[in-house]
Chain A
Amino acid sequence: MNDMFSTGITPRDYWMMAYGAWKTIQMTLAAGLLATLLGIVLGLLKMSRFAVVRLAVDTLVDVLRCIPLLVQVTLIFSGFAVLGAPISAFTAGTIALTLFAGSYTAEVVRDAILAVPAPLRRAARSLGMTARQEYAYVVLPLGVRQAFPSWLGLMLGIVKDTSVVAVIGYAELLKATQTIITRTQDPLPLLTLAACFYFVICFPLSMVGGYFERSLKKRS
Chain B
Amino acid sequence: MGYTFQFGVVLDALPDLLSGAAVSLSLAVASMVVGMLLAAPLAVAAAGRNLAAKTPARAWIELARNTPCLAQIYAMYYGLGAVGIFMPAWAAVFLAISFNNAGYLAEIFRGGLNGINANQFKASRSLGLTPAMAYRYVVFPQVFRNTYNSVSNQFIWSMLNTSLGALIGLYDLSGVAMDYQMRTFKTFEFFLAIAVAYIVLAKLIMFGMRFLKPGGANA
Interface residues of A (CB under 8 A from B): 63, 65-72, 74-75, 78-79, 81-84, 156, 160-164, 166-167, 174, 178, 181, 186-188, 191-192, 194-195, 198-199, 202-203, 206
For chain B, which range describes its interface: under 10, 10 to 19, 20 to 34, or 35 or more residues?
Answer: 35 or more
Of the candidates A81, A174, A192, the one having the most CB atoms from chain B within 10 angstroms of its own CB is A174
- B191 and A71 within 8 A (CB): yes
The answer to whether A187 and B79 have CB atoms under 8 Å apart is yes
Residues in chain A near residue B67, CB distance under 8 A: 160, 195, 198-199, 202
A203 to B61, CA, bound (A): 12
CB contacts (< 8 Å) of A187 on chain B: these are 74, 78-79, 81-82
27 residue pairs of the A-B complex, CB under 8 angstroms, read A66-B199, A66-B203, A67-B160, A67-B195, A67-B198, A68-B161, A68-B174, A70-B164, A71-B195, A71-B198, A74-B191, A78-B191, A83-B1, A84-B2, A160-B66, A160-B67, A160-B68, A162-B68, A164-B68, A164-B70, A174-B71, A187-B74, A187-B79, A191-B71, A191-B79, A198-B67, A202-B67
The minimal Cβ–Cβ distance linking B96 to chain A, given in whole angstroms, is 12
Distance in Å: Cβ of A163 to nearest Cβ of chain B? 4
Q: Mark B60-77, 1 if CB is under 8 A from A, else 0.
A: 001101111111001100
Alpha-carbon separation in the docked complex, A68 to B162 (Å) = 9
A188 and B174 in contact, given A67-B195, A198-B67 (Cβ under 8 angstroms)? no
Residues of A near B156 (CB, < 8 A) are 65-66
Residues of B within 8 A of A75 (CB): 188, 191-192, 195
Does B194 count as interface, using CB distance less than 8 angstroms? yes
CB contacts (< 8 Å) of A191 on chain B: these are 71, 74-75, 78-79
Task: Choose from A67, A84, A163 the contact partner of B70 (Cβ within 8 Å).
Answer: A163
The 5 closest A-B pairs by CB, nearest first: A68-B163, A66-B202, A160-B68, A187-B78, A163-B68
User: Which one of B62, B83, B160, B177 has the highest number of Cβ atoms from chain A below 10 Å of its Cβ?
Assistant: B160
A66 in contact with B66 given A83-B1, A84-B2, A174-B74 (CB within 8 Å) = no
Contacts of B66 in A (CB 8 A): 156, 160, 198-199, 202-203, 206
Query: A112 to chain B: closest CB distance in Å?
Result: 18
Return chain A residues, CB-CB under 8 Å to B69: 160
Chain B residues near A82 (CB, 8 Å)? 3, 188
B102 within 8 A of A: no
Inside 8 A of A178's CB, which chain B residues have their CB? 74
Binding site secondary structure of chain B: helix
Q: How far is the CA of A68 from the CA of B70 in the complex (A)?
A: 13
Which residues on A sit within 8 Å (CB–CB) of B74?
A: 174, 178, 187, 191
- Closest CB of chain A to B19's CB: distance in Å? 18
In the assembled complex, how far is the CB of residue B85 from the closest CB belonging to chain A, in whole angstroms?
Answer: 11
The reply to whether the CB of B167 lies closer than 8 angstroms to some CB of chain A is: yes
Residues of B within 8 A of A84 (CB): 1-3
Closest CB-CB distance, A195 to chain B, in whole Å?
5
Q: For A68, list chain B residues within 8 Å (CB).
A: 160-161, 163-164, 174, 198
Q: What separation, in Å, do the CA atoms of A188 and B69 have in the docked complex?
A: 16
- B156: nearest chain-A partner, CB-CB: A66
Verify if B166 is at the interface (C-beta below 8 Å from A): yes
Of B68, B74, B188, the most chain A CB neighbours within 10 A belong to: B68
Residues of chain A within 8 A (CB-CB) of B177 are: 71
With A71-B195, A83-B1 given, name 6 new contacts (CB 8 A).
A75-B188, A156-B66, A160-B67, A188-B79, A195-B67, A199-B67
Chain B residues near A192 (CB-CB < 8 A): 79
What CA separation (Å) do A191 and B82 show in the bound complex? 11
B130 interface hit (Cβ, 8 Å): no
Which residues 127-179 of B sit at the A interface, judged by CB distance below 8 A? 156, 160-161, 163-164, 166-167, 174, 177
Please tell me if the beta carbons of A186 and B191 are within 8 angstroms of each other in the complex: no
Residues of A within 8 A of B79 (CB): 187-188, 191-192
Point out the residues of chain A lying under 8 angstroms from B68, CB to CB: 160-164, 174, 198
Choose from A63, A167, A194, A195 the contact partner of B199 (Cβ within 8 Å). A63
